[in-house]
Structure 1
């Protein structure tokens, strides 16, 4: 009887524990839903605000809102700041606990989709044209912006016609047109301010907002480009309309040099437009691709653009776009602090195809995903140039290093190849191995990328690469293999790699992935289709196609690893940095109002705008800088503790010997998995048609990295297959994902 009682008690306790777990799970789900709903509600209300303000109702609301805060500490500036910029800052605040406690882990990512279904983000709508490949979600955003601009212009024009009689009843037709043009110019300026609220958000590389929606910087950059072109058009119309009005009235010289204290400083606006024009011209594809350095250096003039923008529109109007500018400042200062650290490149390997593999040291506690990328500066080549490269290694393959593949295609990459060759030649003359006479020094920003390894949500993967675009896919292959090897969650079971290359010697890049001695055939099916477009037949023996290196450089690095202040790094410290800097900004603005602006009745527009920018910069430097300092000390301590727990592995040294573990086994597996075709390009219609026949109703992740023509071809085929899915019945859904990074 006692045994039965004990058994009953154990069951009772187990049931109580299960009930407690269910309650805890429910509370967690509820908290996640509340946070997510709150962010969505704020975001929708913020977007609606821009549509409402130009209307009569919005104009009345705006006037009442400003009047309600009249006479308070922050006055009209604080009122507009709270209305326009506070929502996006509040979302950033709420994003901190959300990504810390409720971010998707690998198990949730793989269990998220039980049934194949379409996604707005991965369904290509436009595949040809000036915008490149545009997904359904991106198309919705584009339409919203177009609707906003057109509706705002309409509302402002109607309001201007209603205001026209207030200028006098005896106006001639010419004077009426002049007044209408003047008011239209002002309205263009108001629309520009609304668009500026979004301009800087996509280019904050490690932004907490981009991490929240899991859109990496290389994807968001195109949104910045689209907005930049739209804003440039609106700014040009704003200035052109004013110039025509001044010309008609014959007051051009005096108005051009006007620097008003109770309104817009015209000269500051013209200087601001000059910087904007210079930036925009260098972003045009013919200029950017041929003179990348000119494009890069000219883009740094955004600092002068923001300063003269503030001088032109004043603190009140700048408050409308302050949220995005402030978040970008936070990201830029964090990147500046990270890039100050210099590391020695552990090893550099030259491949016959003109590609260099660099192995960079990293701390053990630096986290990133396989589709990450870094910005690299090599001190031996240039102290100013930064270039983006995809990480070609898995975060699971090497606790203390990461790898990048760099194709020799320009002046900078050619110099890098020459530097590696020079170092290799000098090292070969030294008797002692691994004692380089010529160190290769580098600085690193990143790694950046997706917050989660989203390629794991697909059971079937199709990787399409063009030339050096193979780099991120080598990271995916390596990551999947290591996950299987270490028995970590890994959904992909079939991987098809389609690789278009010019010459067969590029096939040697496949040797960078180490499969070891394990047999993965029962867990993973890897198929590689290589298309050599500029050769009609195999020029050498098959085994030589996988020849790994022509020269290598080896070095040791003790403690000189890249900084942990990264876009996909510690979530808690990244959130603390944003919150502390924002609180610091409010504190600095309060002190400025209490001790200077209000006591001395400072009311000059241009001066208030300048003070406003100074407050933002000061809060980032002081409060943000203090947080970064504490972050750095904490990470250093954590890194040291983790290194100590490694039981003296490598004696605290980061070492790479450039060897390929299990090379012979891997080459045999690779050759059996690779089909090489010469003299033609891949036929995507045939490839995707075959996949559609063999795969049942399942989500197929299609990833593309290559030139725009390759992206368009693959996106067009994905769209065609998805649209024809009803005719085929039980067929897969192809989800298009681009990993191409084109600055």
Structure 2
């Protein structure tokens, strides 16, 4: 995989050179009359590597799954793996990029170097072409703008070749490099900005050139049978600009619906890109778009299922806990998140939430999340369940009142990072405690079952605004976890209540306790479980069959198209050929991929039904809600609770001494991430050879 990847990257860097460009054109001419078609060579050279790496990642993940944990055990004991430090060493902590690791900085610099190199080479080539032409000064300027626009467009095409890789949520590529979708979406945002900069410049240069020639309208409306379809490019550029403008932070933050709905114009963007550039240049980006289409169909099929709600708990701090039904065979790491859609609120919007339960918990047929009422979408959901809890109807009647929920995921790291260190520091802000409750439960079950776990010390730091947020701990049996972990691991809690100067009175505690409403829905109706079509977990073989079958189907359709239609009818290389090529991609995904998904779904339904019948008599036992007094007594005996102050992360991190690796995992607002990352960076840069090194991880999802 490294050989394929390095060769691929080197070829992309060298492509702007005239000699490499001619070599690719020569290969295209040799495949012109074959079943591969003129696009065959381009597809194999530029899209083939990404598919080959995806194929090879299937056996790699299967074979190395058991070996990877042992590999990390050796890596994190004694000698420090340099590659591991690059991915967990924060370099940039403030600014528009957020917290950026050393590995991400290297990636950003590599892209910048490629852009500068490509612009430089294309500029030299364009100047050489210009010197060889005999034109007037005005015509030379116009011609220079046109050939510069073409060069800029080519750079944009290579950006698109990577653009769709990070947003393939269940992609083998993301699992291979162990990048969760919550992090990968940032790379998509960065690549999206870069892509639209070049495509916008590409369009502007042409518009200026055509305006100088007095042929603007004529050229924009041009849609020839062969060659470049300018009108298709103009339509695609307008769609891209709408996506770009509505994705800037102010719009995305304050008008999320506008951002979300407009982003679906990517379908128009891809279709008209294929018609504009034609089959040859579209073959450069076909690999990543094909993988995205595969992932999108899986997500669509998974999200059709309505998942049953097992129970709901409403807390006075505006937080809702939902427990959802899942099949027993569906496994996931503790630091996972899922996407939820509630039809009664919006049929299109999907929002991510951290999973607050371990797949090893109890009967293993439930998954829970916490939802804090912040925006309009989450507020409506909380109000809906609050009204159900106040209703006078029986539970059977309430079953028809609760919202219909669809789920995508869970998505997570391929490896559980919280089990890879001897010492971990979990830093949470507010409802960010949710995934760490899953982490504590997961560690407890790993040790109980004798599974590999390096942990010797856990420090949990939790900053909340008010003490009523402490009731979230009552949803987990903290006494059992603490008493069992304390035999194997040193477990410390540091709680900071920032907006209260003293503990609440007994009357206030009773009032908050009465405000906690928990209710369960009937077990007999709990038949619809979360599907395992998407997500990391332990399912590799079936997604691998899906990927390989669909790719073979795509090659069969393209080969048949070229053999029986394109070559025999001498179809010109233009917009029609490009849209037929894209149609083959879509048809292979729906026909061949859909067949695999259908069989997969039948197997999963049968397996889940058997599991459901066996477990139907089991009732979900929500941990008994402790009173505020009992909970505070427990916390006082096992934690440090401080009122009216914020945590001093410099002192907290410096309190860890020794020649050890410490995993620091943060879940909270961006300001909390930046603060902790800044301290980790400072201590790592000042550390001596035998001092502690802090490995920074974040568990957040920012759109």
TM range (shorter): over 0.9
Please state if 1:581 is matched with 2:550: yes
- After superposition, give the CA deviation of every residue in 1:547-584 in whole Å (9 maximum; x if it has no partner): 59621231134321111212214200011111011001
Residue matched to 1:80: 42
Find the counterpart in structure 2 of residue 567 from structure 1: 535
* Number of the residue aligned with 2:127: 161
| CA distance in 1 between partners of 2:609 and 2:79 (Å) | 45
**Match of residue 741 from structure 1:** 701
* Alpha-carbon distance in structure 1 between the residues aligned to 2:497 and 2:626: 27
Give the 3 Å change call, closer, same or farther, for CA 553–462 of structure 1 in structure 2: same
Change beyond 3 A, Cα 1:454–1:47: same
**Tell me, what secondary structure is at the counterpart of 2:284?**
coil
2:527–2:612 Cα contact (<8 Å) kept: no
- How far did residue 649 of structure 1 move? 4.0
> 1:507 touches 1:545 (CA, 8 Å); kept in 2?
no
Secondary structure of 1:139's counterpart equals helix
Offset at 1:705?
1.4
Contact 2:475 2:623 in 1 (8 A): no
Evaluate the alpha carbon distance shift between residue 423 and residue 116 of structure 1 in structure 2; reply closer, same or farther with a 3 A threshold.
farther
Contact 1:218–1:741 (CA under 8 A) maintained in structure 2: yes
- Which of residues 39, 56, 63 is equivalent to 1:94? 56
CA distance in 1, matches of 2:23, 2:624: 67
Distance in 2, matches of 1:307 and 1:156, equals: 27
Q: Is the 8 A contact 1:467 1:500 kept in 2?
A: yes
Pairing partner for 2:653 from 688, 706, 725: 688
- 2:346 pairs with 357, 382, 385, which one? 382
Residue 182 of structure 2 aligns with which residue?
Answer: 218
Q: Deviations over 1:205-228 (max 9, x none)?
A: 000111111111111000000000
2:691 pairs with one of 712, 726, 731: 731
Maintained 8 Å contact 1:509/1:546:
no
Q: Does 1:410 align with 2:378?
A: no
* C-alpha separation in 1, matches of 2:625 and 2:316: 20
Give how far 1:639 is off: 3.4
Partner of 2:489: 524
Partner of 2:21: 59
Q: How does 1:671-682 map to 2 (within 5 A)?
A: 671-682=636-647
State the partner residue of 1:21: none
User: 1:271–1:602: structure 2 CA closer, same or farther, 3 Å change rule?
Assistant: same
Contact 2:304/2:406 (8 A) holds in 1: yes
Q: Mark the structure with the bigger radius of gyration.
A: 1
In 2: Cα distance, 1:725 partner to 1:475 partner: 32
Distance (whole Å) between structure 2 residues aligned to residue 43 and residue 112 of structure 1: 24
Alpha-carbon distance in structure 1 between the residues aligned to 2:319 and 2:103: 36
2:414 maps to 1:439: no
Q: 1:334 aligns with which of 298, 304, 313?
A: 298
1:511 aligns with 2:474: yes
Equivalent of 1:152 in 118, 125, 135: 118
Superposed counterparts of 1:565-644, under 5 Å: 565-569=533-537, 570-642=539-611
Secondary structure of 2:38 counterpart: helix
Query: CA offsets per residue over residues 439-471 of structure 1, 9 Å max, x none?
Result: 332111011111121221111111112222222
- Range moving further from structure 2, 566-575 or 513-522: 513-522
Measured after TM superposition, the shift of residue 112 of structure 1 is: 3.9
Query: What CA distance in whole angstroms lies between the structure 2 residues aligned with 1:331 and 1:540?
Result: 53
1:317 to 270, 281, 284: 281
Given the superposition, is the C-alpha separation of residues 437 and 667 from structure 1 closer, same or farther in structure 2, using an over 3 Å criterion? farther
TM-score with structure 2 length normalisation?
0.94
Whole-angstrom distance in 2 between the partners of 1:304 and 1:723: 48
Give 1:264 deviation, angstroms: 1.7
Once the two structures are superposed, the pairs formed by residues 39-58 of structure 1 within 5 Å of their partners are 39-58=1-20
Cα gap change, 1:166 to 1:263, in 2 (>3 Å): farther
Residue deviations 1:412-449 (CA, integer Å, cap 9, x gap): 111111111121122x443x789745233211101111
Q: Which moved more, 1:173-182 or 1:462-471?
A: 173-182
Can you list the C-alpha shifts for 1:586-611, whole angstroms capped at 9, x where unaligned? 01111211222122211151111111
Q: How does 1:246-265 map to 2 (within 5 A)?
A: 246-265=210-229
Q: For residues 623 and 433 of structure 1, what CA distance do their matches in structure 2 show?
A: 42
| TM-score with structure 1 setting the length | 0.89
**3-state SS of 1:611 partner:** helix
How many angstroms does 1:741 deviate by?
A: 0.6
Classify 1:673/1:107 alpha carbon distance in 2 versus 1 (closer, same or farther; 3 Å): farther
Preserved CA contact (<8 Å) 1:528 1:673: yes
The residue aligned with 1:123 is 89
Counterpart of 1:500 in structure 2 is 463
CA displacement at 1:545 relative to structure 2: 11
The alpha-carbon distance between structure 1 residues 436 and 233, as it changes in their structure 2 partners (threshold 3 A), is closer
Question: SS of 1:523's equivalent?
Answer: coil
Residue 142 of structure 1 is matched in structure 2 by: 108
Structure 2, gaps ≥5 residues long: none
Please state whether the residue corresponding to 1:598 is helix, strand or coil: helix
Partners in 1 of 2:316 and 2:207 — Cα distance? 59
1:144-293 equivalences under 5 Å are: 144-168=110-134, 171-293=135-257
Aligned residue pairs, count: 691
The corresponding residue for 1:553 is 519
Partner of 2:261, secondary structure, is helix
Mapping for residues 328-367 of structure 1, pairs under 5 Å: 328-367=292-331
Contact kept in structure 2, 1:702 and 1:735, CA below 8 Å: yes
Q: Which residue of 2 aligns with 1:538?
A: 503
Note if 1:401 corresponds to 2:366: yes
DSSP-derived class of the 1:120 partner: helix
CA–CA separation in structure 2 for the residues paired with 1:389 and 1:698: 32
Aligned 8 A contact 1:462 1:496 in 2: yes
Q: Cα gap change, 1:699/1:548 in structure 2, threshold over 3 Å: closer, same or farther? A: farther
State the shift of 1:537 in Å. 2.4
